[in-house]
Amino acid sequence: MKKFVMVMMVLLFIFPAGCKTSIETLNIAVELNDHAASAYIAKEKEDFLKYDIEVGSFEQYDTGMALATALARGDINVGYICVIPAIISYARGVPIKIVSLTHQYGYELVSRKEIASVQELDGKKVACPGAGSSANFVMKLVEEQYGIKFNVLRTKPLVAISALSNGSVDAVFIPEHYASILVSQGFKILLRAQDVFSEMPGSCIVVKTDIIETKPVVVKELIKLNIAETNFINKNQKEAAKILSGYLNTDEIIIENSMKNITYTNGLNVNNIQFVIDKLADWGYIDERFNAEDAIWAGN
Amino acid sequence: MGRKLNSLLPIALFLLIWELIGRLPAVPTYLFPPFSSVVVKLFTVKGLLLENIFFTLFRVAIGFVIGTASGITLGLLAGINKKVNQFMTPIVSIIYPIPSIGWIPVLMIWFGISNSVPVIAIFICSFFPIFLNTVRGVKDIDQSIIYAAKTMGTPKTCLIRKIILPLALPNIFTGLKLESGMAIRTGVVAEMLAIPSGLGYLLMKGESLIDTQLIFVVLIAMGLISLVTDYTIRKVEVKLLTWKV
């Protein structure tokens, strides 16, 4: 018996990361939109603690690229971020891995009502977030697949809204919930991400590799929490919209409509991630191709 | 030869320290790339870089030339004519302290996102210091020279062209040297805010793609452009002000 206790103590000493012994503190960052719904819901319901995760800081960034640079600086160790900036960060050498998806789609081309087709926008002024954003990724795919070229005005989503509203541009490539804000103002969705990329991965959770290596159990709990919150969102969309509207300071109805344009799901499809990697390499956004599996933590 | 070595040595030392820091295992390349990797990047993006340098220089040249020409013209007028000076000085005193980049948001609203925004911002940046330096240059001229020229019956246009303007040139060049670098900086900031071309655009692209090597390439290019511009203005100054030497 004494021997058994001794062995157990030694094992606990050698493999502390493998044992869920205490509450872990994580510094979390999210994008200021409903793509990070599962994080906002978990925060509101104080569910992080139920999964033994203490939130050290919970920061909001207005774009995925801004969040990606925060990850690179090391300010945060968990990010709810769009897949495209996550892949770019990984390709640059930022020590992160994708651990779970939070949604699919959620990026749209919104235009004035008079514009009937995407082709009409050939050569026209279109607002879009900068290279490395998911909206920019969709825009590049549209240009490729439709054989057209936009006159691009590089803006953040909030500026894009006013640019379309005041007639500075003819259309905008924009993520949800900003697209739904524009729809509520009388503009129309001309194209959705799934029209050019049938299973486009939206956002994901990335975790710093030092956390993955030293505290894999915490990361597994984070993934479980994400799945639980995703289920909650899909079953209680009205309640989820109400919670999100508070965090995003946006009308509840707009958020509810926006959430209908997003598929909240957690399954990571390696082929889709590989497609993203290959495209980013083709466009020179990353220096070289790599295997999607390398950027994903499978939980082993 | 010795003098050249003396000025090259600090640069070489600086680049060496940069290289060594960039190669430290504790320093991630994506945050601080070694100098050698920046040089490699320079060769990879040289076409893109040259194209965007052209856009920036084009905007800077237009804004700077218009700003300088109108600054000198109005400055000469204000320096010669008391009434023009009394009218212009209060306006310039209010507007001059406003940083030229502060105008960019309102320019974006007035002119939309177009080349006009950086060009007008550069114009504002160049006009006021050149205007003020020209006025100062005219006012600093020894009045006995002007009096002598007038008594000898020199026509007004000739007086301005042959006496006032050349004598005001040292002050004008002080303004030019000060503002040439500032004009480039203003143009780049305007491009960073929205314009989809130019060195400012490349800086923002580097930031959003976490491509620090690209950012350093652009920063080096900006430094070299400012250096060449300053050198050119100094050379022109020496050539035009031989009488002063």
Residue B245 confidence (pLDDT) above 70 = no
A→B interface, C-beta within 8 Å: 65, 68-69, 72-73, 85, 88-89, 92-94, 125, 130-133, 152-155, 163, 168, 285-286
How much is the average pLDDT of B221-241?
Answer: 90
Amino acid A201: pLDDT: 96
Secondary structure (H, E, C), chain A: CHHHHHHHHHHHHHCCCCCCCCCEEEEEEEECCHHHHHHHHHHHCCHHHHCCEEEEEEEEECCHHHHHHHHHHCCCCEEEEEHHHHHHHHHHCCCEEEEEECCEECEEEEECCCCCCHHHHCCCEEEECCCCCHHHHHHHHHHHHHCCCCEEEECCHHHHHHHHHCCCCCEEEEECCHHHHHHHCCCEEEEEHHHHCCCCECEEEEEEHHHHHHCHHHHHHHHHHHHHHHHHHHHCHHHHHHHHHHHHCCCHHHHHHHHHCEECCCCCCHHHHHHHHHHHHHCCCCCCCCCHHHHECCCC
Amino acid A193: pLDDT: 96
CB contact under 8 A, A94 and B113: no
CB contact under 8 A, B211 and A92: yes
Amino acid B213: pLDDT: 95
Residue A18 confidence (pLDDT) above 70 = no
Q: What is the pLDDT of residues A111-145, one digit of tens each?
A: 999 999 999 999 999 999 989 999 999 999 999 99
Q: Which residues of B touch A133 (CB under 8 A)?
A: 208
pLDDT-derived band at B93, boundaries 50, 70, 90: confident
Instruction: Look up residue B98 and give its DSSP letter.
Output: S
Amino acid A108: pLDDT: 97
| CATH numeric code, A107-196 | 3.40.190.10
Average pLDDT, chain A: 90
Residue A16 confidence (pLDDT) above 80 = no
pLDDT-wise least confident of A1-5, A70-74, A207-211, A252-256: A1-5
CB contact under 8 A, A285 and B209: yes
CATH class of B34-240: mainly alpha
Q: What is the pLDDT of residues A216-274, one digit of tens each?
A: 999 999 999 999 999 999 999 999 999 999 999 999 999 999 999 999 999 899 999 99
Average pLDDT, chain B: 90
Q: Which residues of B touch A153 (CB under 8 A)?
A: 113, 194, 196
Residue A21 confidence (pLDDT) above 50 = no
pLDDT-derived band at A170, boundaries 50, 70, 90: very high
State which H helix or E strand residue B1 sits in.
none
Every domain range in chain A assigned CATH 3.40.190.10: 24-103+202-295, 107-196
Amino acid A19: pLDDT: 44
Q: What is the pLDDT of residues B17-70, one digit of tens each?
A: 999 999 999 899 999 999 999 999 999 999 999 999 999 999 999 999 999 999
β-pair partners for A128: A154
Higher pLDDT among residues A79 and A8, named by residue: A79
pTM of the model: 0.82
Which residue reads 């100094």 in tokens?
B234
Amino acid A45: pLDDT: 95
* Gap from A125 CA to chain B (nearest CA, Å): 10
Q: Which residues of B touch A89 (CB under 8 A)?
A: 210
β-pair partners for A227: none
Which residue reads 């504790």 in tokens?
B26
Chain A's closest residue to B111, CA to CA, is A168
Q: Which of B30, B194, B201 has its CB closest to that of A92?
A: B30
CB pairs under 8 A between A and B: 49
Q: Which residues of B touch A88 (CB under 8 A)?
A: 209-210
Q: Which of B30, B113, B204 has its CB closest to that of A93?
A: B30
Amino acid B244: pLDDT: 64
Residue A6 confidence (pLDDT) above 80 = no
Please report, for chain B, the start and end positions of each structural domain, with discontinuous segments joined by +. 34-240
CB neighbour burial string for B57-88, b if at least 16 within 10 angstroms, e if fewer: bbbbebbbebbbeebbebbbbbbbeeebbeeb
Determine the Cα–Cα distance for residues B200 and B196; give it in Å rounded to an integer: 9
Q: What is the pLDDT of residues B150-159, one digit of tens each?
A: 888 888 888 8
CB neighbour burial string for A268-283, b if at least 16 within 10 angstroms, e if fewer: beeebbbbbbebbbee
Amino acid A2: pLDDT: 56
Percent of the residues in chain A that have a pLDDT greater than 90, as a whole number: 79
| CATH numeric code, A24-103+202-295 | 3.40.190.10
A interface test, pick of B208, B211, B213 with most A CB neighbours within 10 Å: B208
Residue A94 confidence (pLDDT) above 60 = yes
